[in-house]
Chains A and B, each alone.
Chain A
Amino acid sequence: MADHRPPPPQRFSLRSQAFRGVLYQMLAIGVIALALAWLAHNTLENMRVRGIQSGFGFLGSPAGFDIGESLFPYESSDSYWRAFLVGIVNTLRVAVIGIVATTVLGTLVGIGRFSRNALVRGICYGYVELFRNIPVLLQLLMWYLLFTEMLPPISDAINLGLGIWVSKSGLSIPVPVWQRGQTLALCGAVLGLVAALAWRRYAQLRFEQTGRPLPTFLPGVALVLGIALLGWLVGGAPTAWDVPVKGEVIVDGGAAATPEYVSVLLGLVMYTGTYVAEVVRGGIQSVAHGQGEAASALGLSRGQSMRLIVLPQALRVIIPPLTNQYLNLTKNSSLAVAIGYPDVVAVSNTAINQTGRAVECIAVIMLVYLSTSLGTSALMGWYNKRVAILER
């Protein structure tokens, strides 16, 4: 007789949980809105009293200050926009190279903690504990002091051989003079990469069909290097190098890295490397011992067991906190302001001192860092969903 649908919802009651919920939320939003309005009012009042204009229009006007180092040409007559761009590029210069270096260092140390040799284990443990318990700012300052005070001045620059000069003013390394040959070599390397991936696919198919595995790593490397070499030869095999020459006042030629850059990079890599090492160690430990035993019992060699069973499971555990450490390194690069490396925070600081527009400049910094963080979080969420081990 009765149809089997659920009964319609009750009439709305003033004493229900739902109504209370709505009430609390409206209250919370109301309070926050009022607080924000009060803050905004005060800010506008203060800026009026001090004669500070608001708005982002100032970004178009000339900056009027120099920046210590930059990847592309910049004059003090360029706009604030350009100045901020230089700052962002400087931050990226540290972040990208820092991330690669700290991954390598951290992974080696993390694996080293499982070494069969007690001395290696001890050194890895010592490194992690020592560099983790000292504030990163202090480490940056110490590296900077080391480079600026321990190294000799330009007139006595040390030659490390192979045309590398090091002194108080930084590091100079020889770079090849970029000609057509190098460009073709680069194209060749890309082609080689494509060929290597194609070889991998072919090898996988052959393995599935016949059961005989084909080597993929060495042929892949050979392809990349071989085709790059071919490109270089086709381009005329240029061998010219721009070697730094020690002069009286400067070391001329080659590519130079300022002591600020080197100390920021070294300090961040050494500090973050400890955290990366702990993440890697935790990931390897998280794979249950029984997995390795089952793999051995099936007859898999240690290398096969590591590659097919342990690492895939360990990576799932390692990747999310690892990207967190990459973000930390990027955020910590903001400390470069303390040793004079012109990253985006340092440029912003100068801009605030010149224009007084604290709100706008800080907003720019926060926008830069927030977009990096949120972008990485989104990427991480996507990755986690894709590799999640399916459970009940």
Chain B
Amino acid sequence: MNATATAAAATAAAADGGDGGPIIRFQKVNKWYGNNFHVLRDIDLDVRRGERIVICGPSGSGKSTLIRCINRLEEHQEGHIVVDGVELTDDVKSVEAIRREVGMVFQQFNLFPHLTVLENLTLAPMWVGKMPKKEAEERAITQLKRVRIAEQAGKYPLQLSGGQQQRVAIARALCLTPKIMLFDEPTSALDPEMIKEVLDTMIELAKGGITMLCVTHEMGFAKAVADRVIFMDQGQIVEQSTPHDFFDNPKSERTRDFLSKILGH
């Protein structure tokens, strides 16, 4: 795919959210922290509807920053990001519209400790989605069943284990029926025996057809579920290919270096 042709097509079409085009498009996106730390360099990326992408790379490579730009938790200084036909700018209304379509799961779970599990899930549908309480609670229970944790609905987050909390966080993000799910190192803060339960939940979610971008070190997950694996280093996309090609035939020296480090032991 020619980069300039893609760019021309994007600038020609006003709102490109229809069934043909990509659901997320990054065009020559650049971001700096301060004056000198060039954290994202000329990122060009198209994400198709329903595509499942795993982003990996050494720490400091900008992978978390990349996905945080998608729901405007971080702001980019140069380039264009279009999510489901809406361009990300400083306009508050468009940012709020995008956040309704994009769900995020954090490394530190970030559940609200003063609310019960059920209240954590019904909060956004009621206050942002303007849903009546009963309907919100029904939807919440459905999502809790989906992540297999419905029996804990009345408990408070800090009464649950790490794995359970992360599954609640996934259910909370799903309550708004987002089109895109972002995962920022969801298992990095978990004890080893709890990683499996969260990954299983994510695999089931992936099989359901939702668009997923996942920053993770769990290569087993990538091999099981990903359509595309992206390797980032020093702020740019070094290599992207199918899992098969990525793990078996890495093209770049840097990719080979990285893979040997994380798969070697």
Interface residues of B in 74-112 (CB under 8 A from A): 96, 99-100, 102-104, 106, 108, 110-112
Question: Hey, which chain A residues are within 8 Å of B71, CB to CB?
Answer: 297
Q: Is A297 a contact partner of B104 (Cβ separation < 8 A)?
A: yes
Q: Report the nearest B residue to A290, measured CB to CB.
A: B110
Interface residue B203 (Cβ < 8 Å from any Cβ of A):
no
Q: Is B158 a contact partner of A392 (Cβ separation < 8 A)?
A: yes
Interface residues of A in 280-328 (CB under 8 A from B): 288, 290-291, 293-294, 296-301, 304, 308-309, 312-313, 316
Q: A389 contacts which of B73, B103, B130, B158 (Cβ < 8 Å)?
A: B158
Chain A binder among B21-29, B119-127, B210-218, B236-244: B119-127
Question: Hey, which chain B residues are within 8 Å of A211, CB to CB?
Answer: 126, 129-133, 135-136
Interface residue B3 (Cβ < 8 Å from any Cβ of A):
no
Interface residue A390 (Cβ < 8 Å from any Cβ of B):
yes
Which of A207, A293, A298 has its CB near the most chain B CB atoms (within 10 A)? Answer: A298
Interface residue A41 (Cβ < 8 Å from any Cβ of B):
no
- Interface 1/0s, chain A 202-237, versus B by CB < 8 A? 000001111111000000000000000000000000
Question: Hey, which chain B residues are within 8 Å of A300, CB to CB?
Answer: 123-124, 127-128
Question: Hey, which chain A residues are within 8 Å of B188, CB to CB?
Answer: none
Interface residue A3 (Cβ < 8 Å from any Cβ of B):
no
Question: Hey, which chain B residues are within 8 Å of A213, CB to CB?
Answer: 127
Interface residue B207 (Cβ < 8 Å from any Cβ of A):
no
User: How many A-B Cβ pairs are below 8 Å?
Assistant: 86
- Residues of A within 8 A of B (CB-CB), count: 29
Interface residue A391 (Cβ < 8 Å from any Cβ of B):
yes
Interface residue B247 (Cβ < 8 Å from any Cβ of A):
no
Once bound together, how far apart are the Cα atoms of A340 and B48, in whole Å? 80
- Residues of B within 8 A of A (CB-CB), count: 34
Interface residue B159 (Cβ < 8 Å from any Cβ of A):
yes
Interface residues of A in 3-38 (CB under 8 A from B): none
Q: Is B156 a contact partner of A308 (Cβ separation < 8 A)?
A: no
Question: Hey, which chain B residues are within 8 Å of A390, CB to CB?
Answer: 156, 158-159
Q: Is A389 a contact partner of B156 (Cβ separation < 8 A)?
A: yes
Once bound together, how far apart are the Cα atoms of A298 and B103, in whole Å? 7
Q: Knowing A208-B132, A211-B129, A212-B130 touch, does A389 contact B114 (C-beta < 8 A)?
A: yes
A-B residue pairs in contact (CB < 8 Å), sample of 29? A207-B126, A208-B126, A208-B134, A209-B133, A211-B136, A288-B110, A290-B108, A290-B110, A291-B112, A294-B104, A294-B111, A294-B112, A296-B73, A297-B73, A297-B102, A297-B104, A298-B123, A298-B128, A298-B172, A299-B99, A300-B123, A301-B96, A304-B127, A304-B128, A313-B113, A316-B114, A389-B156, A390-B159, A392-B158
